A and B are shown apart, each in its own frame.
Chain A
Amino acid sequence: MTRARLAIATALISAAAFSGQAAAQAKEQFVPVNSYWVGPYAPGGSGIAAGMIDYFKLLNERDRGINGVRITWEKCETEYRNDRGVECYERSKNKGPTGATLIHPLSTGITYSLIEKGTTDKIPVVSIGYGRTDASDGRVFPYVFPLMTNYWSQNTAKIKFIGMKEGGMVKLQGKKLVNLYHDSAYGKETIPILETQAKMYGFTVTHIAVPHPGNEQQAQWLQIRQVKPDWVILRGWGVMNPTALKAAAKIGFPRDHIIGVWWSGAEEDVIPAGQAAKGYIAAGFNAPGADHVVIGEIQKHVYAKGQGELEDKSRLGTIYYNRGVLWGILTTEAVRKAQERFGKGQPMTGEQVRWGLENLNIDDRRLKELGAVGFMQPLKVSCMDHEGGGAVKFQQWDGTQWKLLTDWIASDQSIVRPMIEASAAQYAQEKGITRRDCSTEK
Chain B
Amino acid sequence: MLYREAGQFKSTYAEDQQIFPIRQDRIALAVFLAFALLVVPVIGNQYWLGALLTPFLIFSLAALGLNILTGYAGQLSLGTAAFMAVGAFMAYNFVLRVPGIPILLAFVLAGICAAAVGIVFGLPSLRIKGFYLAVATLACQFFVLWALQKFGWFSNHSTSGVITAQQIVILGYAFDTPARKYLLTLGVVAVMALAAKNLMRSETGRAFMAVRDMDVAASVIGIPMMRTKLLAFAISSFYCGVAGALHAFCYLGTVEPEAYSLDLSFRILFMIIIGGVGSILGAFLGAAFITLFPIFLSLASSWVNDLFGVEISHAVVSNLESIIFGGLIIFFLIVEPQGLARLWQITKEKLRLWPFPH
Q: Which residues of A does B touch, CB under 8 Å?
A: 13-14, 17-18, 20-21, 37-39, 42, 46, 74-77, 79, 81-84, 86-87, 90-91, 94, 108-109, 112-113, 115-117, 132, 183-186, 188-189, 191-192, 212, 423, 430-431
Docked Cα-Cα span, A39 to B318, in Å, equals: 9
Neighbour of A112 across the interface among B162, B294, B314, B317, CB < 8 A: B162
- Contact at B318–A38, with CB atoms within 8 Å? yes
State the Cβ distance, B155 to closest chain A Cβ, in Å: 10
Docked Cα-Cα span, A186 to B164, in Å, equals: 16
Q: Which residues of B does A touch, CB under 8 Å?
A: 46-47, 50-52, 55, 149, 159-162, 164, 251-256, 258-259, 261, 294-295, 298-299, 302-303, 306-307, 313-315, 317-319
Given contacts A38-B319, A117-B253, contact A82 B259 (CB under 8 A): yes
Given contacts A17-B306, A91-B51, A186-B160, contact A77 B256 (CB under 8 A): no
Which residue of chain A has the shortest Cβ distance to B152 in the bound complex? A188
Residue with the highest number of chain B CB atoms closer than 10 Å, among A18, A42, A77: A77
Q: Which 7 A-B pairs have the closest CB atoms?
A: A185-B160, A37-B315, A90-B51, A87-B51, A77-B314, A38-B318, A112-B254
Docked Cα-Cα span, A90 to B256, in Å, equals: 20
Given contacts A83-B259, A113-B252, A183-B149, contact A188 B159 (CB under 8 A): yes
State the Cβ distance, B154 to closest chain A Cβ, in Å: 13
**In the complex, which residues of chain A have a beta carbon less than 8 angstroms from the beta carbon of B317?**
77
Which residue of chain A has the shortest Cβ distance to B303 in the bound complex? A17
Given contacts A75-B314, A82-B259, A91-B51, contact A17 B252 (CB under 8 A): no
Given contacts A112-B256, A183-B149, contact A189 B314 (CB under 8 A): no
Given contacts A86-B51, A113-B252, contact A192 B159 (CB under 8 A): yes
Which residue of chain B has the shortest Cβ distance to A191 in the bound complex? B159
List 26 A-B pairs, Cβ < 8 Å. A17-B307, A18-B299, A37-B313, A37-B318, A74-B302, A77-B314, A83-B252, A83-B259, A86-B252, A87-B51, A90-B50, A94-B47, A108-B160, A109-B256, A109-B258, A112-B162, A112-B164, A113-B252, A116-B253, A116-B254, A132-B160, A183-B149, A184-B258, A185-B162, A188-B159, A212-B258
Neighbour of A77 across the interface among B159, B258, B298, B303, CB < 8 A: B298
- Contact at A87–B295, with CB atoms within 8 Å? yes
**In the complex, which residues of chain B have a beta carbon less than 8 angstroms from the beta carbon of A188?**
159-161
State the Cβ distance, A205 to closest chain B Cβ, in Å: 15
Docked Cα-Cα span, A70 to B317, in Å, equals: 28
Which residue of chain B has the shortest Cβ distance to A132 in the bound complex? B160
State the Cβ distance, B262 to closest chain A Cβ, in Å: 10
**In the complex, which residues of chain B have a beta carbon less than 8 angstroms from the beta carbon of A42?**
315
- Contact at B306–A90, with CB atoms within 8 Å? no
**In the complex, which residues of chain B have a beta carbon less than 8 angstroms from the beta carbon of A75?**
314
**In the complex, which residues of chain A have a beta carbon less than 8 angstroms from the beta carbon of B258?**
109, 184-185, 212
Contacts beyond the supplied A17-B307, A37-B315, A87-B52: 13 A-B pairs with Cβ under 8 Å: A13-B307, A17-B306, A37-B313, A77-B314, A86-B251, A90-B50, A94-B47, A109-B256, A109-B258, A112-B256, A113-B254, A132-B160, A431-B164
